[in-house]
Structure 1
Amino acid sequence: MIKVLVVEGSPAACESLTRILNSDPGITVIATAGDGTETLSAVRRQQPDVITMDIHTPKLNGLEAARLIMETYPTPIVIVSGRENLSEVVTTFNAMDAGALAVRRRPAEIGHPDHEAMAQDMIQTVKLMSDVKVIRRWPRMRTATAAPNQASMGSTRDPARTRIVAIGASTGGPSALETILAALPKDFPVPILIVQHMSAGFITGFARSLTNSSSLPIHVATHGELLLPGHVYFAPDEYQMKVEREGKIVLAKDAPEHGLRPSISYLFRAVAEVYGSDSAAGLLTGMGRDGASELRLLKEHGAVTFAQNRESSVVHGMAGEAIKLDAAMLVLPLVKIAEALTNLVNHRGEIKA
């Protein structure tokens, strides 16, 4: 049985979320809290497996509460957001800096056409987060270590050909991507395309939040725009993203893959076709297998491929699948990925873990 603490500033929202979570036989809400101060006390007394956290709580807001929880009683935290304005979403991702692992939209009320799907997504997220070992896996708390499955390309590849980088991420990806993009130099010479699995309505705010830590220009991609060196492009909600030979981004309402739109597989397949050996691509932390087979396709086309290692991943799903398929030339801890990419595009000889 997964024990959950529900933190909500609104009594009505608290009641609704409690009802949703308790509807699953594998979950029980052991306590609720209406403000950040109550939250800290409840965590200490109840020792929940997962906390769902509203950012806007009185006395001590959810951002500060999350920070204190991760410093004192580390527990998987799922941020639950009910507002769609941009400033709200940016604040939400600041909470992820503090230690929260996932963000989900507050499920719509009963009777809304999206209620059932949103409720099930919340339940599945809580179940997934209950398995995360936050002390061992929180990337920012780790020091640089060698990857257990290191690989070196040696002199088998000329890094001067790299013209594009493609990255896929899911659960735990926002923090991982922030770490990587913050460490890349402002003169990074090639464009970066990213698919981050995320609840609808959050990607624009996430991109905006990254401008506080990265020196690179960051965009949510638009149809037909030209790729520019050193710019970062995120796939928008509900669109598949690919590239054309003219260096243009194409957004399409093509069918979901692995139940996802945007899909990492869709992007990687296009990069393999258009750029082939002139590309680098990798999979970060996240559940599922989206992009794993296509990362192997990229490797077969001569691209440099990498996967985040288990120790620095929140969920070693997609990257783990890629490793099983021998799709990753490099298996890297999070703190080494930006360095490896920088060396690759700046033609610094061997690229290794």
Structure 2
Amino acid sequence: MPFCEDNKNISVLIVEDSPVVRDLLISILDSDPQIRVAGAVESGEEALREAKRLHPDLITMDVILPGMDGLEATRRIMEEVPTPILIVSAAWVSTEVEKTFRAIEAGALAVLEKPSASSVGIDVRARELIRAVKVMSEVKVVRRWARNSRGEAALTVPDDLDVGKVVQQPFDVVAIGASTGGPTVLKTVLSGLPENFQAPILIVQHMTQGFIGGFADWLSRASHYPVSVAVNGQEIRPGHAYVAPDGLHMGVNGFGKIVLARGEPDHGLRPSVSHLFRSVLRAYGKNAAGVLLTGMGRDGAHELKAMKDKGMLTIAQSRESSVVFGMPGEAIGMNAASYILPPEKIARMLKKLNAKQPPADLRGVFRRPGEANQDC
């Protein structure tokens, strides 16, 4: 089904087998003056054919389709006609959630929950969809930047990664923030860490509500690293990663226990990276590492600068490896990152630095709050 509105400059191909949902997506996207629905199809085979014919700026992809499903269609499109793909999926269907994250692993950029005209908050969902389409449609431009023009090369770590010259400060916990493009980067980072990694990892990944449990399960399987959704009061342990749950800020106290809170959104977000970084700074002083990965916006950038100023190891993802260079770019712009690295080198740095330390239980990882506050 082709559409012709030449005055709109972002072209979108919709792949959705439900006529009701397809019409709703068309209505939402057509309501924006910058977006043009170039076509709407109902199968993976049609999606591949129309992607080659129309060369849209972005594809919205359902994962459960007749014939070739959305996962296989994503793989084929990324192999044959690379195009930004936004998965629009049903969070309440477990098989669909599993395929959603496999599609992200295959090259899709992000996931949004499938809108429903009868659902509460349809206006919010519509705004989220329009915003995501506008941001994702620009990803191809970011990926064409082979080199940056902001002097990042001076801060990258050489291939031999001489850790002894990089930093002397040990860390007892790693705090990571990510948004758009984060799932596959987190997979790369965690996959590069050993089973005996001597620090707990706390992760805030911006994601549409309803998908975080499936994301944690997928990330654990895909990276072969233990990952779970954080529980309030849970003791964090080395060799494990904890993901902030839907709708709650995640922090940690000086006793090494998870603290979840339903406070005000930070940067319009809950959970927020900023909240996590502030909490880690209060609880651990300089004995922590902060990592800011790909994502839109500026969540966590100022707090990463505070962590660096306190003497922590701080890392921002490099421009050329980021899907969206918003969050790490903001941090780099304010000199918040000690090092600017692609995902593989982030894992190598954390691994080598952690290997230089004695086991966590011999260092007294979980200090009393008063002891940590003396550093703040």
Q: Which TM-score applies when normalising by structure 2?
A: 0.87
Alpha-carbon distance in structure 2 between the residues aligned to 1:119 and 1:307: 31
Q: CA deviation at 1:44?
A: 1.2
Question: Are 1:235 and 2:240 an aligned pair?
Answer: no
Instruction: Tell me by how many angstroms 1:154 deviates.
Output: 5.6
1:34 aligns with one of 30, 42, 67: 42
CA distance in 1, matches of 2:297, 2:154: 21
Secondary structure of residue in 1 paired with 2:95: helix
Pair 1:310 & 2:319 matched: yes
Structure label with greater radius of gyration = 2
Q: Is the 8 A contact 2:292 2:317 kept in 1?
A: yes
- Closer, same or farther: CA 83–284 of 1 in aligned 2, 3 Å: closer
Matched, 1:158 2:163: no
Q: Secondary structure at the match of 1:38?
A: helix
* 1:134-283 equivalence runs, <5 A: 136=143, 148-150=153-155, 155=165, 157-159=167-169, 161-283=170-292
Structure 1: gaps spanning 5 or more residues:
140-146, 349-353
Q: Corresponding residue for 1:143?
A: none
Matches within 5 A, 1:38-117: 38-109=46-117, 112-117=119-124
119, 132, 135: which one pairs with 1:125? 132
**1:135 offset after TM fit, Å?**
9.1
Residue 7 of structure 2 is aligned to residue 7 of structure 1: no
| Gap change, CA 1:104 and 1:178, over 3 Å in 2 | same
* Inter-CA distance 83–170: structure 2 relative to 1 (3 Å threshold): closer
CA offsets 1:242-284 (integer angstroms, 9 cap, x no match): 1111110000111110000000000100111111211011100
> Shift of residue 11 of structure 1?
1.2
Distance 1:42 1:223 in 2: 47
CA contact (8 A) 1:265 1:290 kept: yes
The letter for the 2-side match of 1:43 is A
Q: What's the Cα RMSD here?
A: 2.0
Structure 2 vs 1, CA of residues 134 and 67 (structure 1 numbering), >3 Å: closer, same or farther?
farther
Q: Which amino acid aligns with 2:168?
A: D
CA contact (8 A) 1:87 1:205 kept: no
Q: Structure 1: which amino acid aligns with 2:140?
A: K
Q: Please tell me the residue identity of whatever aligns with 2:55.
A: Q
Find the aligned partners of 2:53 and 2:119 in 1 and give their Cα distance. Answer: 36
Could you report, residue by residue, the CA deviation over 1:298-320 in whole angstroms, capped at 9, with x for unpaired residues?
Answer: 11111100000000000001101
**Aligned with 1:281: secondary structure?**
strand
Q: CA deviation at 1:149?
A: 3.7
Assess if the C-alpha contact under 8 Å between 2:21 and 2:116 holds in 1: no
Is the Cα contact below 8 Å between 2:291 and 2:316 reproduced in 1?
Answer: yes
Q: Give secondary structure in 2 for the equivalent of 1:289.
A: coil
Deviations, residues 100-150 of structure 1 (Å, cap 9, x unaligned): 0010011221x54300000010000000011011893799xxxxxxx6242
Q: Distance in 2 between matches of 1:136 and 1:83?
A: 29
Taking a change above 3 Å as real, the CA distance of residues 182 and 157 of structure 1, as seen in their structure-2 partners, is closer
Q: What residue identity is the alignment partner of 1:148? A: A
Residue aligned with 1:6, SS: strand
Distance in 2 between the 1:157 and 1:136 partners?
30
SS state at 1:262 partner: coil
- Give the unaligned 5+ runs of structure 2: 1-8, 147-151, 158-162, 358-376
Contact 2:142/2:324 (<8 A) preserved: no
Instruction: Assess, with a 3 A threshold, how the Cα gap between structure 1 residues 83 and 294 changes in structure 2: closer, same or farther.
Output: closer
Inter-partner Cα distance in structure 1 for 2:91 and 2:190 = 27
CA distance in 2, matches of 1:98, 1:138: 21
**Paired AA for residue 21 in structure 1:** L
